Amino acid sequence: MRRSILLGAAGILAMTSHHAWAASHAAQDEPACACSGSRAEAAADITFRKIYSAEWSWRQTQLADDEDSAGSKISAELPDVSPEAQQARLTKWESVAKALDAIDRSALSPENQINYDVYKAQIDVLINQQKFKDYQRPLTSDTSFWGNLAGTARKSFADEQDYRNYIAQLGDMPRYFDQQIANMRAGLTRGFTPPKITLQGRDDTVSSVIDIDKPEDSVFYKPFETMPGSIPDADKTELREAAARAIRQSVIPAHKKLLAFLRDEYIPNAQPSISAADLPDGKAYYRAKIREFTTLDLTPEQIHQIGVDQVAEIHAEMLKTMKDAGFTGTLPEFLQFLRTDPQFYAKTPEELLKDAAWIAKEFDGVASKWIGRLPRSRFAIVPVPADIAPYYTGGRGGPGIYLVNTYDLPSRPLYSLPALTLHESAPGHAFQMPLAAENKDLPAFRQNSYISAYGEGWALYCEWLGQEMGIYKTPYQRFGMLSYQMWRAARLVVDTGIHSMGWSREQAQQYLHDNTALADHEIKTEVDRYIAWPGQALSYYLGEMAIRQDRAKAEKALGPKFNIRAFHDAVLELGSVPLPVLNEHIDRFIASGGVGPYPDEE
């Protein structure tokens, strides 16, 4: 999951804050040709491009940098997140929606009709996030606005200006934190917080910033440990001194104030219920989140039943694979065996990291057989930072990075590592997202936005595809893949159960315990994630189902003409899109005879 590597509480869109990058790329959207006989279409294209280019450039100024921000530049400031600024954003996006409604979609070029559908979905989500005031709960069970800022320290700093801009950000933290605290207090007043149970111990991520001996020990000082050789030594010294001063005078005091607020006010009085239905206008809020994360118009009841049906199908496959492994007991006994036998667990963090690297290289060996256009970008494999590891998922991936959680090694089974790696690294998140960013045929708002149903659906499809690619060498590894498939199918049951059917936290944990091979520690962190982040867990399996259904349709229609590389390229060339847009694109792929976007690479 990209997750947050995805933008935590903001949900569907990993909207970036690379101001200069966005401004430069807005210019790439040239007006359509106003040729004779196509003036109406050209005029509509021009109007549409002006709308999205201006809004996208403006959107970048509204968001804080984090480690997932695209582009290479570091912003010089943190955004204004005051109620007044939030209202201004709502007004802006509502005006954009009105302008979009005034465009005759049928008058747009075929390419811009797709762009229109993707862009309008983005704007609709942004409006809903503002209307429901998502900014009043800028944290989930394992992500937060302060954690996102710490992630900026893991970005690459290119030049002296990046460092000066970053120091300015550090100095602006007290103002930014004060605004976030005010928003959280407003949410607290109306009962709009993450559930109290999911916040237990989360203040540790704040205290870890404070509990240091000197500024140089801070995570925020990391960029200054190794600086580009192009910066003169005297300037390096000056910048390091300024960074230490900003950490001492601004960063630590801001975190101290936040810590007191969390411990004394926010966590003790947070929402006692775990259900989104009990939030203000909760039923409508959950339906909006279903639409946001799945891009589909499905009811909680429909999704719940899909989950129940898929769990039953996968259960049958798991039993067969258990027999293939030579195990003669029951499924619960097999799950207990997998959770407890030392042969399935790394003895050191380094062993886990090296195994993940080996699996990633195994995919490299077969990549060109399955996908035609490969991204230029590469990724690092690094451990999840210690301060967030106890509450973090097993791994997350995104542009340039595959995070592997080495905390509590008995909760990180090696038999699941191949599936996790395919999902989070290549050909999953650390592959798909850079491929979209490198596709210069897409407008910037498609290159650098993330829709969970598509992105998580692709990553989960990659786990399933590992069977055909030969990544799973043993029945245990294949069972690990099936357990992960079961985990995502079970999420459909658990998420809807929690947020619309009155399920308890213990009931959700027990359901995952009985149906997956997940370790108990991971089950607890996962359930808390679903509780604190309504709807996000629904995107994975529904997205994978859409891709697998599209593939089956293409295979049946094209017969011997079907080319798996061409199909995957057709899926990946889109960037991140709503599932109905993907379905229509594959219909066009079939109609074209199954010719991919890069025929010379097939």
Residue 283 has pLDDT above 90, yes or no: yes
- Asked whether residue 569 is domain-assigned, the answer is no
- Asked whether residue 536 is domain-assigned, the answer is yes
pLDDT of residue 67: 55
- Asked whether residue 10 is domain-assigned, the answer is no
On whether the CB atoms of residues 424 and 397 are closer than 8 A, the answer is yes
Q: What is the mean pLDDT of residues 87-108?
A: 97
User: At what angle are helices 282-294 and 452-469 packed, to 10 degrees?
Assistant: 50
Q: What 3-state DSSP class applies to 381?
A: strand
Residue 61: pLDDT band with limits 50, 70, 90: confident
Q: CA 71 to CA 565: how far, in whole Å?
A: 29
- Asked whether residue 73 is domain-assigned, the answer is no
Residue 41: pLDDT band with limits 50, 70, 90: low
On whether the CB atoms of residues 537 and 456 are closer than 8 A, the answer is no
Residue 249: pLDDT band with limits 50, 70, 90: very high
Residue 76 has pLDDT above 80, yes or no: yes
pLDDT of residue 34: 38
pLDDT of residue 448: 87
End residue of a domain, out of 97, 120, 135 = 135
Are 324 and 358 within one domain?
yes
Residue 20: pLDDT band with limits 50, 70, 90: very low
Q: CA 52 to CA 445: how far, in whole Å?
A: 8
Are 510 and 377 within one domain?
yes
Residue 32 has pLDDT above 50, yes or no: no
Considering its fold, how many domains does the chain have in total? 3
- Asked whether residue 68 is domain-assigned, the answer is no
- Asked whether residue 7 is domain-assigned, the answer is no
Q: Who contacts 526 (Cβ-Cβ below 8 Å, separation ≥6)?
A: 393, 487, 512, 518
Distance of CA 197 to the CA centre of its chain: 23
pLDDT of residue 15: 34
Q: Who contacts 292 (Cβ-Cβ below 8 Å, separation ≥6)?
A: 11, 12, 125, 128, 129, 452, 535
DSSP 266-283: ITTTSB----GGGSTTHH
On whether the CB atoms of residues 568 and 446 are closer than 8 A, the answer is no
- Asked whether residue 214 is domain-assigned, the answer is yes
Tell me the residue type at 578: P
Q: What is the mean pLDDT of residues 381-404?
A: 90
Q: CA 384 to CA 142: how far, in whole Å?
A: 12
End residue of a domain, out of 541, 572, 595 = 541
Any idea what DSSP says for residue 142? S
On whether the CB atoms of residues 434 and 377 are closer than 8 A, the answer is yes
Query: Phi-psi category of 408—alpha, beta or left, where left has phi over 0 and alpha has psi -120 to 50?
Result: left
Are 168 and 307 within one domain?
no
Are 57 and 111 within one domain?
yes
Q: What is the mean pLDDT of residues 32-45?
A: 57
Any idea what DSSP says for residue 75? P
**Dmax (CA) of the chain:** 75
Are 228 and 254 within one domain?
yes
Residue 30 has pLDDT above 90, yes or no: no
Tell me the residue type at 393: T
pLDDT of residue 142: 75
pLDDT of residue 156: 78
What percentage of the chain has pLDDT greater than the value 90? 82
Are 355 and 445 within one domain?
yes
Q: What is the mean pLDDT of residues 195-220?
A: 93
pLDDT of residue 48: 97
Instruction: Flag the least confident range among 20-24, 158-162, 219-223, 367-371.
Output: 20-24
Q: If you average pLDDT over every residue of the chain, what do you get?
A: 90
Are 127 and 145 within one domain?
no
Are 120 and 197 within one domain?
no
Any idea what DSSP says for residue 388? T
Tell me the residue type at 187: G
Tell me the residue type at 95: S
Are 129 and 146 within one domain?
no
End residue of a domain, out of 272, 294, 329 = 272
pLDDT of residue 29: 43
For residue 421, what are its two tokens? 């790696």
Q: CA 303 to CA 495: how far, in whole Å?
A: 9
Q: What is the mean pLDDT of residues 490-506?
A: 97
pLDDT of residue 459: 97
Are 57 and 202 within one domain?
no
Residue 486 has pLDDT above 70, yes or no: yes
pLDDT of residue 71: 53
Q: What is the mean pLDDT of residues 426-433?
A: 95
Residue 68: pLDDT band with limits 50, 70, 90: low
* Domain around 245: 138-272
Residue 33 has pLDDT above 80, yes or no: no
β-bridge partners, 398? 401
| Tally of residues, the chain | 602
E strand or H helix at 397, and its extent?
strand 395-398
pTM above 0.85, yes or no: yes
- Asked whether residue 593 is domain-assigned, the answer is no
Are 251 and 219 within one domain?
yes
Are 206 and 251 within one domain?
yes
pLDDT in tens, 533-546: 999 999 999 999 99
What percentage of the chain has pLDDT greater than the value 70? 92
pLDDT of residue 16: 32
